[in-house]
Every structure is written in C-alpha cells, then in structure tokens.
Amino acid sequence: MQAIIYAGAILLVLAAVVFLLNRPKRVVIVGSLPTDFPARGFSHAAFEDLLKFYVSPTGDVDYDSWQASPEAVESLNSYLVAVAKFSPASAPERFPDKHAELAYWMYAYNAYVIRSVIEHWPIDAVTDVRAPLEAVKGLGFFYRQRFSFGGRYLSLLAVENGIIRKRYQDPRIHFILSCASDSCPIVRPELPVGEELEALLTRAAVDFIADPRNVAVDHEAREIVLSRIFKWYRKDFVNHAQLNSAPHAQHPLDYIQSIAPKSLARELAQAIDYRIVYRDFNWSLNAA
C-alpha cells in the first residue's frame, strides 16, 4: 500500500512540474485601433490590405518582408487590437449575423497565426515554437500560446475546436483556417463577410479538393491519396455528408465526391474499391 501511495505522489509531483513548465503563455498585443475602424460593426480591412500585399498568388506568405517592415507589423497589431477588444461574445451588437461571427473567428485565427510566426521569425515551421516539455507536436504553438479574443485569452486549438467547429459545424472552415504550413489550406487575401462569405467557403472547399496534393487517384497503385486533414476531421465531413448529400455516408470520400469537380468525381467513381491512403502532413512553413 505504501508503495502505491509513494508512486501516486511521484506522479502528482511530475504532473505538477509538467503543468508549471507548460503553463499557458499570454500574448499581449500592444497598439491602437486602426484609424478608420468603424464605430459599428467590425472591419477586417486592415488585415485584408496586408494579405493582398504580402501573400503570393499561390497563397504563400512573405513573412520575411512583413517582419522587416515596422509599419506592416504595426498595422497587423492594430487589427489584432480590434480582435482583442471586440468579439461576438464581448460585443455582439457588432456582429449582426452568423456570417459576421464566423468571419471574425476564422480571420482572427489566421491573423494570430501570422503574428506568431512573425514574432518568432525566422523559423522553418510552426512546430519550431515549442513548449518546454512537448509530448505532442505543435503543443507550443497551438495550445500554450493564448491570444485575446474580445478580452478572453484562448489558445488557437480552443478557438478551432471549442468555438468554430462546435458552434458552426461547417466542414468548409477547414479550407480557410491556415496553420502556416505547406499541407494547410492556402492563405486567401479576400476577407468577405455577410452572404459573400458563403461563396468564399464553397470556393475554398472546391479548390482544396481539386488540388492533387490533397485528393488524388493513383490507378496504378489502386489508391486514393487524401490530405491528412480528412482523417483528423473525419467526423465533420461525414456528419455533413449524412445531413446533406449522402444519408448513409461513412467516410470523408462521400463529402469529397459531393463537391469534387466533374473530372475528379468520375475518377473517384472508378476507384470505388481502391485503398485509402492519407498523405503525411508537411509542417514546413508556407513562406514565399
């Protein structure tokens, strides 16, 4: 009995040490609101202007030039001051509908990802931002760092899973949220809100699926090769397919086939008995 108590005490001490070493790290943004920030609503214009300047046509980000420009860093900070001050939770009157709310959470998420890369520049991957004791890849970047959303400090992981996925239940968000890595969706300079957001979500989903790096049919190997995103968020894609296009869906392929371009849809139909393979995730930075 004493041995069990002793072992339990050691485990508690180790757990406490791990918690203290990996305790959340608040990231405080210093700056002021954009000069043209509206008295009503929420404007993403400052962030959109930066993306249009620093994102290439292929969706890569010129972090090097962005980080080297004090004015650009200040402009990003100003946008994030607005994110930290107003959110659908702290200022619901600024977000008239669910489209406005979802736009806020997705664009703010992407902005904090870019801000963190710039803050730690130069890095080769977001996984270079490590916690003191990191048992899971990405813990330091996506969990330990806490960013302000309307005055509430949250990790990127909590925003994605606890707010965006849980509240909006739209698998297309996985094609907008960018983790600054080669295997993630590309960064898009356009930041629409309102009904226009629907068009962006649909276009992003089709573009991601049409990219052979994310969905490909290898007839010689009799394999369908998918992005690991479809494995990680399998439930989101299957649930959506069951509710909309395929009541008996059991696999993300049912979702993919429902929105795939015609040529890809035909290939997938011919590969119905092929083995499913998930591509290794490439965490290399999506740097221009």
**What is the per-residue pLDDT across 162-172, written as a single tens digit (0 to 9) for each?**
999 999 999 99
pTM of the predicted protein model: 0.93
Q: Cis peptide leading into 122, omega within 30 of 0?
A: yes
**Rounded Cα distance, 205 and 233, in Å:** 14
- Sequence-distant (≥ 6) Cβ neighbours of residue 253 within 8 angstroms: 224, 226, 268, 276
**Inter-CA distances, 24 with 21, 108, 119, 131, Å:** 9, 19, 17, 9
89-102 confidence digits (pLDDT tens): 999 999 999 999 99
Amino acid residing at 203? R
**Rounded Cα distance, 26 and 224, in Å:** 42
**Rounded Cα distance, 271 and 279, in Å:** 17
Q: For residue 135, what pLDDT is reported?
A: 85
- Sequence-distant (≥ 6) Cβ neighbours of residue 97 within 8 angstroms: 194
